[in-house]
Structure 1
Amino acid sequence: MKRILLTGFDPFGGELSNPSWEVARGLDARLVDDDHQIVVAQLPCEFASSLQILEAALRQYQPSIVLCLGQAGGRVDISVERIAININDARIPDNAGALPVDVPVVAGGPAAYFSSLPVKAIMHALRQAGIPASISQTAGTYVCNHVFYGLMHMAQKMDHIRQAGFIHIPYLPAQAMASPGAASMSLEVMKSGILTALEACILNTQDLRLGGGANH
């Protein structure tokens, strides 16, 4: 049985929950395409320790696919991240109080890594399933991008990882109630969307050639 590692973060910025972890733990042990089983890990929203815990999970589970999830309050859809950049530039402190500014994720590392997920195929599969989705050209410069970049850097040295990348998901409805006008998505729709994304990863060893760029 092959394994898929799915990660989510603990709450941050004063929130009481984080949809990334709610989705991940709700899919723990689920089978995907009969021969892949989901295993999960919760990452702290902390620059210093998040990659340590991620690396431990990668070594423990030896997954063939790794998908890290993060909350992006204000986004209106499931955002499949294309690229991670080698910079930490925090606007607010992380959960440990750290506030790195203009610090590389990996000193001396490449400027950026592209996701090895079939990002266009994922977007297409989600839209075919009636779930709003898009390609995102930036994962930000906070802990989500930190983990995304760190994951891709580690994946270069782990032969068992076939695909790896990051997806941002919107607020849960209860979170959006505290921010009038903010977009949200139900937990069940997000769980269905992530399963659809993982199925697309298994079915597509080569990505689709579809439009998904940004105009700005």
Structure 2
Amino acid sequence: MEGRETVVVTGFGPFRQFLVNPSWTAAQGLKVFGLGERIDVYIKEVPVSYVQTQKIIADIWQTLQPKFAVHLGTARGSSVVILEQTGKNSGYRDRDVCGFCPESHCCLEGGPEKLDSVINMRAVSKEFRQAGVDVIYSRDAGRYLCDFAYYCSLCHGGRRAALIHIPSSGRLSSADRLVPLLQTLIRTMLDQLEDPSDSQSQ
């Protein structure tokens, strides 16, 4: 059918105490809820592995060529939704679930030190906060697999990506509240992508 577009949503695989990662549960929920009738939602579970993450993200952009990619990560100890503006290239020193860490401590040797999403996350978070929702803006995604995946995606996808850290505790961590909120957040981002003037309201 003409006029359909793909949005990719990724969540992470098992990690430490999360035998099923809440970010993957949320991605599955978004597949069920959808993002509107003209959008095909493609979901992918990404292992907490630098090598696998790099390969999967590159593959997503090359084969699916989505309009937009949303990467969900779990913020341990957080009770708010965090919208990340920036992916960082270097400083990756923590080992992944395979016990591996990139020798260069980089996503992409020689790549820019940071990449920002085309979406103005500050404007999106402000809109939701004004409506009384606990959504905050951040420029530091933590230098682990979430940040790593985000940078790779921003790089491959012409910066048409988002990283949303979801809460691991509190009211918004329950799927029945979280998934509809994520649906609205992502649709707001897609509207901004369609009409960049939306992003100017700081």
Distance 1:208 1:194, change over 3 A: farther
Match of 1:7 among 1, 10, 23: 10
Give the Cα separation in 2 of the matches to 1:60 and 1:138.
29
Give the Cα separation in 2 of the matches to 1:26 and 1:33.
14
Distance 1:19 1:54, change over 3 A: same
Match of 2:166 among 164, 169, 193: 169
2:191 match: 203
1:75 offset after TM fit, Å? 2.1
1:30·1:37 contact (CA, 8 Å) conserved in 2? no
Q: Does residue 23 of structure 2 align to residue 35 of structure 1?
A: no
1:122 offset after TM fit, Å? 2.6
1:75·1:170 contact (CA, 8 Å) conserved in 2? yes
TM-score (norm 1): 0.81
1:81·1:139 contact (CA, 8 Å) conserved in 2? yes
Give the Cα separation in 2 of the matches to 1:68 and 1:4.
11
Greater than 6 Å deviation, 4+ residue runs: none
1:12·1:94 contact (CA, 8 Å) conserved in 2? no
Q: Deviations over 1:66-106 (max 9, x none)?
A: 11111110223110001111114234x31111134761110
Give the Cα separation in 1 of the matches to 2:115 and 2:49.
21
Give the Cα separation in 1 of the matches to 2:128 and 2:40.
20
1:29 offset after TM fit, Å? 5.5
Q: Deviations over 1:116-144 (max 9, x none)?
A: 22313431343355431010120011111
2:22 match: 19
Helix, strand or coil: the match of 2:73? strand
1:73 match: 76
2:119 match: 117
Give the Cα separation in 1 of the matches to 2:131 and 2:107.
35
Give ranges in structure 1 of 5+ residues lacking alignment: 157-161, 174-182, 211-216
RMSD over aligned CA atoms reads 2.2
Match of 2:176 among 188, 206, 213: 188
1:180 match: none
1:172 offset after TM fit, Å? 5.1
Give the Cα separation in 2 of the matches to 1:125 and 1:50.
31
1:13 offset after TM fit, Å? 2.2
Give the Cα separation in 2 of the matches to 1:130 and 1:37.
30
Percent identity between the two aligned chains: 25
Give the Cα separation in 2 of the matches to 1:126 and 1:5.
22
Give ranges in structure 2 of 5+ residues lacking alignment: none
